[in-house]
Chains A and B, each alone.
Chain A
């Protein structure tokens, strides 16, 4: 299975939301879709779902135009969280699954299984407005997957979850991936992307600025990073004498030093030893995804918008 987005253009009045956006996702992959607020991520997801129509460009799944695909092909977790407040969790899950063609009994069984899997079986008969935001988010996630979609589109799925539930959701991602599902998700949590994704696309102003296999993307920068831990020295003053290096993250326990192309990592270690530093840890690594993002977009990724602000941007088609 292969999902191909080819040259998508989308304008909302004077705002260009997508400007020739293209990328490809292989089947059974977890794909990280990264971009600042307003980069065009939500617009892209809405076009994939068929909720919006692209002005130009094509989307295909296994060579078939996506407009001809049934709705149940897709599972969608929107950035804007929402459920029917007075409806029980079970009734909502059965309702949404029903819209995707799942019979009521089957939906009920499946919902009960998933609620147990998410360690909240007792929530089945509770109204949504009695749940915490994190638990409402889990219910929404279940609404997105209960009909067993081929492709999952998840907009900021980890935002608002506590660490336990983040870990739980990561497990589910990997389980779904092992079942052959394709998962495309946007997030501002770069370490989550680095943990889960085989491929990524970083989008800025409606176009992909870098994308592909995660390792290739990291190496495309042509620079390396040294992770260094020293006993009793986090100022790294001796590094001023080493050309082609700069500290990109300074920490008491560990610091990260970026090396210009062509600079040998060993020069850092030698300089540290020469300066009398007590080296506890030395590691040569690829640049972080965050560094790659900054390098291509020119600024760090923003925190996700919440509530009406996000909705207003959605109205203008400029949601990240």
Chain B
């Protein structure tokens, strides 16, 4: 019993879409709800950004067990003694009751030490290999439980080992001091695009991936629901009758999605800026809290490359346009706010599915499923961004994913405009699937 708006005038999109967008944006960001929710989110984001410091504070009471293997037994004993002395010096100074941050245990061979890490009998393994020139090469194999900051401190310890080894042997050999090398390798471990990466970088990539997928989910679903709620509010207040006479369905739909999208991005920026600042400054903050020697948080942000950020921004914008249009159409089909959850539930479930697959991709599970999902337009904003964060994505894969997403957006705008045009005049009845399909036809 509904009828689509007869849009035969072919009104140009601008300026009306922009006028609608401006109204939506201004009204949204001026509202008390927006200001309060932004402040709450800023506080939460900064707390999350400081999470590594909190973790470090908790972690400071634990002991990292490191197996030590060396090319000769004497070197192994010396390395253990020096590392104990250097890395546990601060704990020793605090008294015997203080937990030592490191415990070094000898291991008969490199293979044995690595096995111990893989079996989680120790947290890490340090292998010292004397070269032909007499210098020492170190390899640090990290397990699941070890934080990147401790790996860095082990690096400091290896330098002390090299210096003391040189001073003790220099009188005989007369060689020049050579800085020791230290390779940090995740035992069994983390890779990016098939290349091994350090635990710190892997952690950083996962953190970036998680942050991306959570932020995209919030933007698409929360702000998408804002769009739908905005349409329902216009129907509820009956102002829709005035609006549909003044602008075309396409102008109104696009304006609403753009305006609310910009308000969402504004909130996004307000939340991200202090959170990023907190991330950047956390080493300095850690210095204040933990003291200079034990300050490094070393959450690697190396994964935040310009290319990844660009792809992320594009997925956010395109994803929001796709979801926003469909949410607007869904909102137009109901006239009571309490019906909104019901009609938008299928779309929200699709988004949740994408979110779950993206989390799966972060843990490396079911690679064929995550790869397929990264091409599905409703899921690619979630899954492809996490794939980009933690694994290798071929350029052509990215192009196909974007292409499919853009094509789907074109189709979604056309269908959503038709549904919106019919739906905004539909009052008093909750439409079934048949009615929805009829309005789109």
B215 within 8 A of A: no
Contact of B238 among A15, A82, A99 (CB under 8 A): A82
Nearest chain B residue, comparing its CB with the CB of A83: B239
> Separation in Å of the A217 CB from the closest CB of chain B?
29
> Separation in Å of the B14 CB from the closest CB of chain A?
12
Q: Which of B25-74 contact A (CB under 8 A)?
A: 27, 31
A98 within 8 A of B: yes
A308-B428 in contact (CB<8A)? yes
Supposing A71-B11, A82-B242 touch, asked if A312 and B19 sit within 8 A by C-beta, the answer is no
Nearest chain B residue, comparing its CB with the CB of A81: B238
Supposing A308-B427, A317-B3 touch, asked if A86 and B23 sit within 8 A by C-beta, the answer is no
Q: Which residues of B contact A47 (CB under 8 A)?
A: 6
Nearest chain A residue, comparing its CB with the CB of B236: A82
B9 within 8 A of A: yes
Q: Which of A131-153 contact B (CB under 8 A)?
A: 140, 143-144
A238 within 8 A of B: no
Contact of B237 among A78, A85, A98, A99 (CB under 8 A): A85
Binary A-proximity of B1-15 (CB < 8 A = 1, otherwise 0):
111111111010001
B160 within 8 A of A: no
A49 within 8 A of B: yes
Q: Which residues of B contact A115 (CB under 8 A)?
A: none
A98-B3 in contact (CB<8A)? no
B246 within 8 A of A: yes
A51-B237 in contact (CB<8A)? no
A28 within 8 A of B: no
Q: Which residues of B contact A53 (CB under 8 A)?
A: 3-4, 6, 8
Contact of A315 among B234, B240, B245, B428 (CB under 8 A): B428
A269 within 8 A of B: no
A27 within 8 A of B: no
Cα of A174 to Cα of B8 in the assembled complex, Å: 33
Nearest chain A residue, comparing its CB with the CB of B251: A99
Cα of A269 to Cα of B237 in the assembled complex, Å: 56
Contact of B5 among A51, A85, A143 (CB under 8 A): A51
B1-A51 in contact (CB<8A)? no
A164 within 8 A of B: no
A96 within 8 A of B: yes
Cα of A236 to Cα of B16 in the assembled complex, Å: 64
Contact of A99 among B31, B240, B247, B425 (CB under 8 A): B247
B425-A315 in contact (CB<8A)? yes
Most buried by B among A99, A308, A317: A99
B239-A84 in contact (CB<8A)? yes
**7 further A-B pairs in the complex, CB-CB below 8 A; given A82-B241, A312-B427:** A12-B2, A71-B246, A84-B237, A91-B23, A98-B15, A312-B428, A315-B428
* 6 A-B pairs closest in CB distance: A82-B238, A53-B6, A78-B241, A311-B427, A312-B428, A99-B246
Interface residues of A (CB under 8 A from B): 12-13, 15, 47, 49-53, 67-68, 70-71, 74, 76, 78, 80-87, 91, 95-96, 98-100, 140, 143-144, 308, 311-312, 314-317
| Interface CB pairs A-B, < 8 A, 8 | A12-B3, A50-B9, A51-B6, A80-B241, A86-B31, A99-B16, A315-B1, A315-B2
